[in-house]
Amino acid sequence: MGCLWLTIVGGVLEGVGFVFIACELARIQRQEFGAPQFVVRIKGWVRRLLRRPRVVELSAAMGGGVGSMRANLRVRQVPGETLEERVTALESNFEHLEGELGERSRAFDRRFESVEQAQRDMRADIDQQQREQEARRRESLRSSVALQAWGTLLFVVGVVLNVLGSVVSC
pLDDT digits (tens, 9 = 90+) for 5-16: 878 888 888 888
50 occurs within a structural domain:
no
Q: What percent of the chain has pLDDT over 90?
A: 21
Residue 154 placed within a domain: yes
Report the pLDDT value the prediction gives residue 75, as an integer from 0 to 100. Answer: 63
- Identify the burial level of 9 via C-beta atoms within 10 angstroms of its C-beta, where 0-12 means exposed, 13-18 middle and 19 or more buried: middle
Q: Is residue 151 part of a domain?
A: yes
- Of the candidates 2, 60, 24, the one whose C-alpha atom is nearest the C-alpha of residue 155 is 24
pLDDT for residue 58:
60
Structural domain contains residue 60:
no
Amino acid 49: pLDDT: 80
In a domain, 136, yes or no: yes
Query: Could you tell me the pLDDT band of residue 116, with boundaries at 50, 70 and 90?
Result: very high
Is the pLDDT confidence value at 51 over 60?
yes
Higher pLDDT, 24 or 55: 24
Q: What is the pLDDT of residue 53?
A: 65
Rounded Cα distance, 5 and 165, in Å: 8
φ, ψ of residue 161 to 5 degrees: the values are -65, -40
- 89 lies in a domain? yes
- Total domains in the chain come to 1
Domain that includes residue 12, residue range: 2-35+81-167
**Rounded Cα–Cα distance for residues 115 and 78 (Å):** 39
CA distances from 17 to 3, 23, 120, 133, 158 (A): 21, 10, 49, 29, 8
Give the integer Cα–Cα distance in Å for 118 and 112: 10
**Residue 43 belongs to some domain of the structure:** no
